[in-house]
Amino acid sequence: MPVDVSNLSGGSLIVAWQLKDKNVLIVGGGDVAASRIENILVADAKITLIAPHEGLHPQTKEYIAATPRITYHDRVFAGAGDLEGVDMVLTAIDDVERSREIVALCRARRIPVNAADIPPSCDFYFGSQVKRLPLQIMISTNGKGPRLAHHIRTRIEDSLPQGVENAIERVGELRSKLRERAPGVGGELGKKRMRWMTDLCNAWDLDELSLLDDAAMKKLLDEGWENGQVPSPQDVLPGAKLRGEVALPFSLLVPTVVGFFAGVACTAVAVHRFSPRN
């Protein structure tokens, strides 16, 4: 059967764009610019911000004061000269005509550009983001309903397990330790490394992975990787509270204990009142 591609259309390419040390120009300093600044700082890029001081959002002012990673110019956009050496441009201004001009200048120079108020002119859209670094989840409605993206984000945030970021961080550390033992890219060793990591991530749950400390990782690699097997969490994390071990949480323990003694007290009263001697 030929593959059905009829649904493979109408979306975007969602990628995790690596911007470390790249130069991002943000034009405008209002509400939208403040949120752009946050997103770009997270990606470790350098920001040039062009916007008149009187139009700055309080949050934008705070970012400018808080980090040397933002070079601020108190003025309006001055033309092509402002695009010199720039890797990405974001316009967030309340002037659509000027925004269109900036977009045209970027196109001519093949600089990727987002114009907050003109979706058809954007090379890429922003999305609503769950940020539990190193975990990032982007929700895009492809321009249809940004506020809905926000609500969907809230639902996803509520459904994520506690400590998910910790588990990811630990797995990252384990992967680099494994690469030190089994270095190189591709080949048989690369396949074996990937298979072992996949098996481990399938066999352990997020809570268990988040408990991996240096000693546990060493044990896992010494006894597991070196012998071509994936030890269970019980083998590697002695003493830790693991899946399947039911611990009564404090919030349940208190009513249970109180209930038990209340029951004992009631029974005692009843026995006392109705015993034949009274």
Ligand X SMILES: C[C@@]1(CC(=O)O)C2=NC(=C\c3[nH]c(c(CCC(=O)O)c3CC(=O)O)Cc3[nH]c(c(CC(=O)O)c3CCC(=O)O)/C=C3\N/C(=C\2)[C@@H](CCC(=O)O)[C@]3(C)CC(=O)O)/[C@H]1CCC(=O)O
Ligand Y SMILES: NC(=O)c1ccc[n+]([C@@H]2O[C@H](COP(=O)([O-])OP(=O)(O)OC[C@H]3O[C@@H](n4cnc5c(N)ncnc54)[C@H](O)[C@@H]3O)[C@@H](O)[C@H]2O)c1
Rule CB under 6 A: say whether 101 interacts with ligand Y: no
> Tokens for 226?
């070196």
Among 22, 43, 59, 76, binds ligand Y (CB under 6 A): 76
The candidate with the shortest Cα–Cα distance to 113, out of 71, 83, 138, 150, is 83
Q: Is 77 exposed, middle or buried (0-12, 13-18, 19+ CB in 10 A)?
A: buried
29 touches, from ligand Y, ligand X, none (C-beta below 5 to 8 Å by class): ligand Y
Smaller CB separation from ligand X, 91 or 210: 91
Among 93, 139, 211, 236, binds ligand Y (CB under 6 A): 93
Rule CB under 6 A: say whether 122 interacts with ligand X: yes
Clarify whether 222 is annotated catalytic.
no
Rule CB under 6 A: say whether 121 interacts with ligand X: no
The candidate with the shortest Cα–Cα distance to 45, out of 89, 12, 83, is 89
Smaller CB separation from ligand X, 90 or 216: 90
Residue 92, Cβ neighbours under 10 Å: how many? 24
Among 52, 134, 143, 259, binds ligand X (CB under 6 A): 143
DSSP 8-class letter at 38: H
- Residues 219-278 touching ligand Y, rule: CB under 6 A, are none
Rule CB under 6 A: say whether 30 interacts with ligand Y: yes
Residue 146 C-beta: closest distance to ligand X, Å: 3
27 touches, from ligand Y, ligand X, none (C-beta below 5 to 8 Å by class): ligand Y
95 touches, from ligand X, ligand Y, none (C-beta below 5 to 8 Å by class): ligand Y
Integer angstrom CA distances of residue 181 from 166, 178, 185, 213, 222: 23, 5, 13, 17, 10
Residue 115 C-beta: closest distance to ligand Y, Å: 8
Rule CB under 6 A: say whether 114 interacts with ligand X: yes
Residues 246 and 162: their CA atoms lie apart, in Å, by: 17
Q: How many residues bind ligand Y (CB under 6 A)?
A: 23
DSSP 8-class letter at 30: S
Residue 205, Cβ neighbours under 10 Å: how many? 14
Rule CB under 6 A: say whether 38 interacts with ligand Y: no
Residue 68, Cβ neighbours under 10 Å: how many? 7
Q: Position of tokens 């009843």?
A: 270
Please identify which of the residues 31, 87, 95, 117 carries the catalytic annotation: 117
Residue 49 C-beta: closest distance to ligand X, Å: 16
ω into 231 cis (within 30 of 0) = no
Among 94, 199, 213, 226, binds ligand Y (CB under 6 A): 94
Q: Is 10 exposed, middle or buried (0-12, 13-18, 19+ CB in 10 A)?
A: exposed
120: Cβ–Cβ under 8 A, 6 or more apart, which residues? none
Smaller CB separation from ligand Y, 117 or 169: 117
- Report the catalytic residues: 117
- List residues near ligand Y by CB under 6 A: 27-33, 50-52, 55-57, 76-77, 92-95, 98, 116-117, 146
